[in-house]
Structure 1
Amino acid sequence: MNEKLITTVIEFFKELFISNGMNNNLASILGVLLNCIIFIFAVTLLDIITRKFIVQGFKVFSNRSKNTYDDYLVKSNFPRYIAHYVPLTLSWYFIPFLFEDFPLIESALLKVVDIYLVVLSVLVIRSILRTTKNYLDKDQDYADKPLQSYLQVLMIFAWGIAIFFIANILTGFSAKSLTTLGAASAIILLIFKDTILGFVASIQVTVNDIVRIGDWITFSKYGADGHVTEINLATVRVQNFDNTFTTIPTYSLTADSFQNWRGMQESKGRRIKRSIYIKQNSVRFLSSEDIERLKNIQLIKPYIEHREKDVAKYNRQVEADKSLLINGKNQTNLGVFRKYADAFLHENPAINKDLFLMVRHLAPTDKGIPVEVFCFSYDKNWENYEHIQADIFDHLLAAVSYFDLEIFETPSGKDFKELVSLKD
């Protein structure tokens, strides 16, 4: 554009006022004011037209395009931000002509334009980053990755660079000096301590695959027990099973101990580990009559018959005096019950027999003898898993009485009352 022509147009009002006898300074001020009003109106109108043209054009293009990336660009206001560059460039070009007689105002306005240019550039970068994140969120390969953390880190860098540029625009400050950089770094470290910790933790979490979005974690320190719904630069959001949300600092995932159930979810079964407490004085040797009665239980009939032959053979070899059951080898009601529980689990179609399966006695306690069931269910869904576990122990608790065993139960107040009434 011809600079001489621009100067002539801008000087039109000033010359007009002077030709009508107005003071030169006052004519300059009024001329600038009128030119500013006209320029602001023109720039605003240009901004509206450009914005509508670019936004609508971009929408038409995205609707015709098969790629969804441009759709996310429209949603993140990328075309709107780009449209602002046209009037901004025009302002940057015309301000020196408008305020040629007022260098201080010209300098201040150019700094404002430069600052707005820096901020607008950051907004464009943010729009692109958000678009990329939203686009990758739909990809299964990135669904469990903490993309939000990466977005926040990049935005921190972008705003950090923008702040340095703005400081340079306002004060002429230069970050070339090592001393200046050291002081600035110390301030940044102090202000963004948690952010930096979160950034480092996010990298460790991703590289070491500690936590993914969708993982079920238990973090007792923070009262979290549920699925990870979001991983940010500073926090990890967990939706608990009561539908409440717990926020955990990201760096805590690397600094503290927590439980991640992903291994169970990816394995071939979910562990069942629970005990039944048997009253100790109900454990006894089995008589021949007891053995014949227990042979009616189909699951353990082959075991009892096989075990009976082994016991009889051993007792004959050692010439055991069987007038007392304690002599020689004998079967016990607890041992047979343990074998029954083992056979019951092997017959249960909900239990994975390819994984570890065991029924064992633990050390006697003041609450009885623990008979522990250790196995894995095929179904890992929490609700179904609890149903499977409940069905197993419902059956075993009901089966205990068939072996003349008793479940230990701490006496209640009612039991003591009944005891006192019997004595009376």
Structure 2
Amino acid sequence: MHVGADYTPIRIIHRIWGENMDLISKWLLKFELNANLVKYLSIFIMILFIAFVCIVANFITKKVVIRIITHIVRKNNFQWGNIIVERKVFRKLSHVVPAIIIFQFASTFTTFEYLIQKGATIYIILTGLMVFNSLLDAINDIYQTHDISKIKPIKGYLQVVKIIVITFGIIFVIAILMDESPLILLSGIGALSAVFMLIFKDSLLGLVAGVQLSNNDMVRVGDWIEIPKYGADGDVIDISLNTVKVQNFDKTITMVPSYALISDSFKNWRGMQTSGGRRIKRSLFIDTNSISFCTEEMIERFNSIDYLTDYITKKEREIEEYNIQHEINRSITVNGRALTNIGVFREYIRNYLKNHSGINQDMSLMVRQLAPSENGLPIEIYAFSNDIRWAVYESIQGDIFDHLFAVAPQFGLRLFQNPTGHDLKTLMSESNENIPLKEREQ
């Protein structure tokens, strides 16, 4: 006696119904109905009965079993369980129950038994693929709850598994439809490898790129990357098999092929983010006509500035000793050594930055001259803020240059800019004032 095969609940119902099919047919014949009509009515009643059983089984599965499972998961606060429930793994799995019932009752319809079983089998396979797909998504969600997911994402690998399983599932469905063994179709895959290489080219390239990106730790979720070729400049929010999703700072989304991060160059700002400092690299352009040697009056004024007192005292002593030692004739300004307003200004900027609360003092700090150009003499500030947040960084940088723009005239220096309409208007007004009244009237 095959208990597992013959005494399942569905088999018992099937047997009871099969034993009573003849009784129903005989009962319908009492109404003196046509034999063919009785046959069709019996089949129709059987279909209604199967539909009723499927509806009841589906109701019990979804409204009772799944609710009990969900209640247990919620009550015990299983994080992984909650994720599986949210991905509707059990709900999709419940769709298999009606298909199994239809498969078991297929023998009732002798003529269409094979087609019904074939259709039910295909439905079960497709449902299984959906369940497997949701289960892999749940696994990825569970993995992302751990910090290692940002360093070693597995979404790309799971997508590869999805492709493989779905491919095999489709092969089994085709084999069922063609009444052939799946092994025969699998043996033909070798001949179709070139076609598969073409179809899954992006996926294969993405897989290779994903492995290299992960092993070399080139990019992580949360990294700020910049790829000018693709117009991407923002934070990485997702790394999948084929694409890297970047949310730009204007909140737009750019999809970059994974293999592009291997084949093309890109900038990753992670080093800046982890260093604790963000670089400030900007220049002031000084009008070279305003650069001069410091006069006694200027030195006296500079000596009263807090950030320059020690520097002026030390530098004056050093220059005086040098000039006396080398018997320099200071009646001519160019002889010997002397302070310049641009040199004092650079020292002021350096000391100002060293005492600024927004500058990281443990990182590089320079104030340097660049090569002069048609726009004047660039004085470049090279330093790092101690806060990498964009808004705070811009505020620190803005405060520094606000101050320097305002303080430059105190050193007798003029900042260079191309003439504006206001400058030309002022120049014309001054020229007109120097022309005698009679000549202006003429």
Is the TM value for this pair above 0.5?
Answer: yes
The aligned residue for residue 271 of structure 1 is 279
Alignment of 1:36-75 (within 5 A): 36-75=47-86
Q: Which residue of 1 aligns with 2:109?
A: 99
Identity %: 38
For the pair 1:326 / 2:334, whether they are aligned, the reply is: yes
Shift of residue 401 of structure 1? 1.3
Say yes or no: does 1:158 pair with 2:165: yes
Kindly tell me: are residues 177 and 60 of structure 1, through their superposed partners in 2, closer, same or farther at Cα, counting changes over 3 Å?
Answer: closer
- Greater mean alpha carbon deviation, residues 214-223 or residues 169-178: 169-178
Q: Deviations over 1:282-329 (max 9, x none)?
A: 112223343233211121121122111221222222222211111112
Describe the superposition over 1:6-37 as per-residue Cα deviations: whole angstroms up to 9, x where unpaired. Answer: 64334444566678887777655554343233
1:168 matched to 2:175: yes
Q: Check the 8 A contact 1:199/1:233 in 2, yes or no.
A: yes
Q: Distance in 1 between matches of 2:319 and 2:183?
A: 90
1:186/1:15 Cα in 2 relative to 1: closer, same or farther (>3 Å)? farther
Runs of 5+ consecutive residues of structure 2 not aligned to the other structure: 1-5, 433-442
- What secondary structure sits across from 2:357 in the alignment? coil
Deviates more, 1:397-406 or 1:8-17: 8-17
**Other-structure match for 1:210:** 218
CA RMSD of aligned residues (A): 2.7
Contact 1:400 1:406 in 2 (8 A): yes
The residue identity in structure 2 corresponding to 1:266 is: T
Which of 277, 281, 284 is the matching residue for 2:289?
A: 281
Cα deviations by residue, 1:48-95 (Å, 9 ceiling, x for unpaired): 223322112212321332422222222222222333333333322221
Tell whether 2:12 aligns with 1:8. Answer: no
Number of the residue aligned with 2:244 = 236
**CA distance in structure 1 between the aligned counterparts of 2:340 and 2:246, rounded to whole angstroms:** 50
Alpha-carbon displacement from aligned partner over 1:185-218 (angstroms, at most 9, x marks no partner): 3333322322333333333322222222222222
Q: Offset of 1:168 from its aligned partner?
A: 1.0
**Counterpart of 1:210 in 2: which secondary structure?**
coil
Distance 1:245 1:79 in 2: 33
Residues 171 and 185, structure 2, Cα contact 8 Å, conserved in 1: no
CA distance in 2, matches of 1:229, 1:175: 41
In the alignment, what sits opposite 2:45? 34
Matches of 2:425 and 2:116, distance apart in 1: 92
Tell me the equivalent position of 1:401: 409
Deviation at 1:348, TM superposition (A): 1.2
Name the TM-score, length of structure 2 as normaliser: 0.86
Report SS of the residue matched to 1:298: coil
Residues 242 and 197 of structure 1: CA distance in aligned 2, closer, same or farther (over 3 Å): same
Correspondence for 1:110: 117
Write the mapping of 1:171-210 to structure 2, written as runs, cut at 5 A.
171=178, 172=180, 174-176=182-184, 180-210=188-218
Contact 1:215 1:228 in 2 (8 A): yes
Correspondence for 1:86: 97
Q: 2:389 matched to 1:389? A: no
Quick one: distance in 2 between partners of 1:170 and 1:361?
Answer: 79
Judging changes above 3 Å, is the alpha-carbon distance between structure 1 residues 9 and 201 closer, same or farther for their aligned structure 2 residues?
farther
Mapped contact 1:167–1:173 kept (Cα < 8 A): no
CA contact (8 A) 1:136 1:143 kept: no
The corresponding residue for 2:349 is 341
AA of the residue aligned to 1:252 = A
Match of 2:319 in 1: 311
